[in-house]
Amino acid sequence: MNYQADESRLILRFEEDLISTTVKKLLVSCRHAIEISSDVGTVVADLSEVEMIDSQGLNLLITLYKNAQDARKDFSVCGASPANAKLLAFVNLQERFKG
Amino acid sequence: MTLEISQTKKKILVVDDDPGMLRLISTMANPAQYNIVCVLGSEEAINLIGKEGVQQFHAIVLDYHMPVYNGLDLLAYIRARDPSISAIIMTAEHDVEVVTQALRFGACDFINKPFRFRQLLDAVDKAVQLTLEQRYLESMASEIHEIIDIHKRINATANLIEKKRYMDRYSVSLETIFYPIKVTGGDFAHCFPVSEDRLLLAVGDVSGHDITAGFISSYFRGIVRGMVTMGADVKTICRHFNEFLINEWNHPRHSGVITSIAVCFMMLDFREGVIRVVAQGFPHPWLANSDAEIVQLTEGREALGWFKDLDIQEMVYALPDNGTCLLWSDGLLDLAEDQQLCPFSLAHYLLSDVDTVQRQRILQKRKDDIVVMRITWSDESHSDKGEIQWSKCRPIYLGICNGGEVDRIDEIQASWKRCLVLMFSSLPADKLHEIILCIREAVLNAMLHGCCKDKKHECRVQIAFDAARKILMIRVDDEGCGYNQSEITAQADANDHVSLGLQIIRYYTDSISLNRNGAALTMTFDLAKELN
């Protein structure tokens, strides 16, 4: 994963699937990125390069969402493939993750 | 190769436009050895051959320089009618190009005029010998082709079940494929209807990949057929053929490597409701039963032809009302491993009608003969048309992993993905994605919770496809004891992936059923819309 921050937004660009085998490592990287970008008002998860999200991947996004909320930041998701958008919509996360 | 030349006179055709040369050759040749037929010029030769053919001659001697058609033109004409005839070209030309062309047209020798007569006779002797050898080889090749055709016919008729219904209840269908690596081979799949209520199947592999192996496989099946007709049981047949191989076929007086037969006999006894299996050195067969489970039947023991004290054991299994059995030779297992495919998927793929470049590409990679037999039966007195009948579902994937392999889930997922992609190449990517995700969730649940991440506990993924109704059926089993409902509710509150995973599965599948408190999960996908 890489990230990019400007004055208002932190973009977390995921370069691998959000699945059981990657979530632990991704959570550490995401938390680090959020920590060092404490001034931004919005955290954006860019899923353009994500092919699969499994239940643990969903939990990762929910964890990031909650972490952002606790830090009084907005959280949104962009670039989800139709299949991943369908999954997010099913668990009612698409609405919550809208930018 | 040296053929003994019979004492009958050999007939030689000599064509020259010089009557003096023809007379000389005719006079000088030994009349006891050769019958020289002299023809003046190429046009006359063409007339003669057109009327009487070439086969009567054992060699031809042609002058190169003749009016109308030269010796090479005539050679081309003659060899087009009989490529086995050997020809000698005589010429006064010292032209390398003529020699080159003569050889290209199939001349076996070349004589420069003037020549010593002994030189011509030596050349004629060699040409006659060559023609005889060539004709012998052609006749052998033709006989071999006939034998191969007979073997193919035996294979083709081996699986014609005369009775499609047994005991007026069981509907039976049988499919086989045989892909030898050469023109024929020793693998075989044969069905022997024994009686009104019993069907004997034999699938085997004779060592070797040649016509000899094919011959032995046909001979073996003939013996089996005869013995079965006379009422012999499978164990007696195995013992008899083992003794034949050891005492006769593989007798020390015969040189070369011994011949063995790996074979699996499977008797479907519809009256007694049992399957009797004897496997000798052959990969174990598989049975898909009506509980959507794929189970391995007996392990193969020693092949026939190895040892005198053959260890034979007959295993007896309950015959499910509806079932599918799959038997395959190790050639299929090798190819599946090479292609990183589950053998069930590969067997199903090869048994299906698809004739694609991909199929040919996969088959080209085989290193051994491949034989596959699939037999399906269904008790129609119990059939409910509204329900999915596992017997009509083809098992296409079986994967077994343990709880300690959670970190390998991506690799394991790749194995069922490869199989699904092979089987359903026309399935939209999004649908495939959903199926793969659901299997992943079910397997993760089984590994993490059912097997408690313990490598001593296994979980099984079984996928079957009902081709008629286009329904994909996936069963994931673990060795755990399942959950109680309050556990699931508590986990749902904690956003645990067990519940979230189940929600995902419920969302994407067309049906889901949980057995053994969730330790066995069966889900279906109706692919009729996507595949039609």
B407–A21 C-beta distance less than 8 A: yes
Which residues of chain A are within 8 Å of residue B497 when distances are taken between CB atoms? 20, 54-56, 59
A86–B444 C-beta distance less than 8 A: no
Which residues of chain A are within 8 Å of residue B441 when distances are taken between CB atoms? 54-55
Q: Answer whether residue B426 is part of any domain.
A: yes
Last residue of a domain, one of B390, B408, B429: B390
Mutate to test the interface with A, among B407, B413, B435, B437 (most CBs of A within 10 A): B437
Residue A20 forms contact with B (CB below 8 Å): yes
Statement to judge: residues B412 and B490 lie in one domain: yes
Statement to judge: residues B271 and B312 lie in one domain: yes
The parts of chain B modelled with pLDDT lower than 50 are 1-5
Last residue of a domain, one of B92, B118, B150: B150
Domains of chain A: 2-90 (3.30.750.24)
Share of chain A above pLDDT 90, in %: 67
DSSP for B206-243, written as a single string: ESSSSHHHHHHHHHHHHHHHHHHHTT--HHHHHHHHHH
pLDDT digits (tens, 9 = 90+) for A25-49: 999 999 999 888 888 999 999 999 9
Q: Which residue is it, tokens 């019993």?
A: B198
Last residue of a domain, one of B390, B408, B423: B390
Interface subset of B 418-437, CB within 8 angstroms of A: 429-430, 433-434, 436-437
Quote the pTM value: 0.77
Nearest C-alpha neighbor of A60 from the set A77, A73, A72, A35: A77
Q: Which residue is it, tokens 């991506």?
A: B410
Q: Answer whether residue B416 is part of any domain.
A: yes
A83–B433 C-beta distance less than 8 A: yes
Residue A23 forms contact with B (CB below 8 Å): no
Give A66 or B154, the one with higher predicted confidence: A66
Statement to judge: residues B357 and B475 lie in one domain: no
B256: tokens are 């070369």
Q: In CATH, what number is assigned to the domain containing residue B138?
A: 3.40.50.2300
Q: Answer whether residue B3 is part of any domain.
A: no
Q: What is the ipTM of this complex?
A: 0.86
Number of domains comprising chain B:
3
- Residue B327 is inside which H or E element, if any? strand B322-328
Statement to judge: residues B86 and B205 lie in one domain: no
DSSP for A35-85, written as a single string: HHTTT-SEEEEE-TT---B-HHHHHHHHHHHHHHHHTT-EEEEE---HHHH
- Residue B106 structural domain: 10-150
Q: Answer whether residue B334 is part of any domain.
A: yes
Q: In CATH, what number is assigned to the domain containing residue B494?
A: 3.30.565.10
B491: tokens are 């986990």
Residue A12 makes CB contacts below 8 A (sequence gap 6+) with A1, A3, A30, A33, A43, A44, A45, A46, A64
pLDDT score for B491: 55
Q: Are B378 and B171 in contact (CB under 8 A)?
A: yes
Of the pLDDT bands very low, low, confident and very high (cuts 50, 70, 90), residue A95 is confident
